Structure 1
């Protein structure tokens, strides 16, 4: 039996703990809240986040030193705004070699660092190429119910990716590997922006035509920025790209879609975030992607429009009109063109 620490007892951390427990591993689920750890251990429930029973081989801890004692792998599943703080604490107490896996999706505003870069900066004995990312179309609610789910794990060090694959793969949770950690992380982060847009579209009462267009053109934006930074364009056609984009833009499970839906109905951002009660990663990522696009001189009109809705209080209907009245252009100038240039 392998002992694994999962840092972060929200919905996604809890769901991944259940996957690992189903595979026979001993799971130490860490939370910074003492009361939450006590409730999980006493009731085998984490009802604030998921309405499922927690297996007996998952034990919750609120003391990090105890949570990582004797583990062979550490899975980091905290919001991106908490990554650095948690990793600094981990760096102070981790005194043996482990496989570091993260399943958080986002980009740090201002620094424009991906999660693996933030982790590597805070952990003294780990480089970016050592880190594994787990990403893909995977709502925690469905994973916890053992509904069929497929994800990708990626690392520059493919041996580490294969370790992660072996830890998680089972009959309801299929895991592929990829060497393109840049593309996998960017796809997982940037799709949250488009999901906000999809929610706004639905909140405005627009139909399937509008949402299909938004998803398709959103994918082009993601690929355009990602490839400008060196990612493989094929990654954006995979599970952490178009797969995650579809599921996040079309499901009521998606926090980003729900937040966008409220914005489309006229609610202000601060009120929306208060109503959500959980982190909406897309909001932070919009800031980072907007800055990325400016610095890379990459055209991202959907991202720019959503930025204007969130942070400049522009009317969503005005932004839609702005997007619909852009200069005429060919469609095959984005992802298809990138692929043709790379592989012709």
Structure 2
């Protein structure tokens, strides 16, 4: 492979080449040469020989490798775009080759558990905030990298791949990370905002997936826009309470990464989480749905984890609690909806 011109000074790395990883790699390749990491040698060969990845067209300035050391050596800025259930394993794989000079800006909308060896949600009595890691916290725990950021917002991969107008938020405690993210990604069709509340922005991307599953279920039941408006508005209140309890700022939830992403994923058949809810309402069971989905719907794990977290708090999150019953306890979607309609909400907005 000819790596001439692919040096640390100008080359950007993308870790993972799923639908969102491919879309971000193409955005980055508009300005810089890009190296993508894929574990599967066949996928690496496909990218380098045909500029395609599992049917997705890639820019000619994108080359691929399955060597973590090489991509870390050639790229100072890396964009991890991998599912939350594989994130810790991949960071452990990359950790020996990462240095304090690296920037990591992830695009993973999930949470992972920080529990003792042998413990998981099935055999612990409760979990607290200390047992929950966002992806930025996991990066800090697993590597020496400190300049960490995240991408979040209404960023449906298919629309990004079609170069339709969109925007995202780069969040980080480090202003230089935000500025680099904006410099690398901003274009005529893609606006990039900054936010210093990285935990809040990560939580926006994670928690809205819960409401997106519920929105898909409403659509699957054939209910109208009034019901959707009710769900989204009450869901927004629930997300803010959960987000505050987990360390996020209310400001982040009323911005692009919060309400912007929430509205998009609650109304799009392109959303994996929306699709899960839709199919549940049509009578399919969760195992069937998960088995034939190409990529992970992060909201499923988020519902399970957040519901366990609620047990150690005095918070009530009726949408999350009822969705848990639908996903894991064979509770009928229509029964969950009836419960929510009767839930005694007395005040519309009580968090401002």
Common fold: TM-score over 0.5: yes
Q: CA deviation at 1:117?
A: 0.9
Count of residues in Structure 1 that have an aligned counterpart in Structure 2: 328
For 1:36 and 1:229, the matched residues in 2 are separated by 38
| Pick aligned residue for 1:115 from 130, 135, 140 | 135
Q: CA deviation at 1:218?
A: 0.6
Q: CA deviation at 1:14?
A: 0.6
Q: CA deviation at 1:97?
A: 1.9
Runs of 4+ in 1 over 3 A off after TM superposition: none
Name the structure 2 match of 1:105: 109
For 1:134 and 1:197, the matched residues in 2 are separated by 24
Name the structure 2 match of 1:282: 299
Q: CA deviation at 1:202?
A: 1.0
Name the structure 2 match of 1:342: none
Q: CA deviation at 1:231?
A: 2.1
| Pick aligned residue for 1:83 from 79, 87, 93 | 87
For 1:2 and 1:37, the matched residues in 2 are separated by 21
Within 5 Å, give how 1:6-25 maps onto structure 2: 6-23=14-31, 25=32
Name the structure where helix makes up a greater proportion of residues.
1
CA-to-partner distance for each residue in 1:161-218, whole Å, 9 max, x for gaps? 2121211111111101011112101110001110000111111121111111111111
Within 5 Å, give how 1:54-93 maps onto structure 2: 54-93=58-97
Name the structure 2 match of 1:188: 205
Within 5 Å, give how 1:170-319 maps onto structure 2: 170-319=187-336
User: Which shifted more, 255-264 or 292-301?
Assistant: 292-301
Q: CA deviation at 1:142?
A: 1.1
Q: CA deviation at 1:252?
A: 1.1
Q: CA deviation at 1:295?
A: 2.3
Contact 1:19–1:168, Cα closer than 8 Å, also in 2: yes
Q: CA deviation at 1:66?
A: 2.3
Name the structure 1 match of 2:48: 41
Q: CA deviation at 1:70?
A: 1.8
SS in 2 for 1:200: helix
Q: CA deviation at 1:296?
A: 3.0
CA-to-partner distance for each residue in 1:271-302, whole Å, 9 max, x for gaps? 00012121111101111221233323221100
Contact 2:153–2:205, Cα closer than 8 Å, also in 1: yes
For 2:47 and 2:165, the matched residues in 1 are separated by 25
Contact 1:28–1:68, Cα closer than 8 Å, also in 2: no
Name the structure 1 match of 2:145: 126
Contact 2:237–2:349, Cα closer than 8 Å, also in 1: no
CA-to-partner distance for each residue in 1:61-120, whole Å, 9 max, x for gaps? 122222222211011100001111000011122356211111100112453211111111
Q: CA deviation at 1:328?
A: 4.8
CA-to-partner distance for each residue in 1:31-71, whole Å, 9 max, x for gaps? 111111111221111244x3xx3111100112222222221
1:126/1:93 CA distance change after superposition, 3 Å: closer
SS in 2 for 1:131: strand
- Give the TM-score normalised by structure 2: 0.90
Contact 1:74–1:101, Cα closer than 8 Å, also in 2: yes
Q: 1:156 and 2:173 equivalent? A: yes
- Give the TM-score normalised by structure 1: 0.92
Q: CA deviation at 1:141?
A: 0.9
Contact 1:259–1:276, Cα closer than 8 Å, also in 2: no
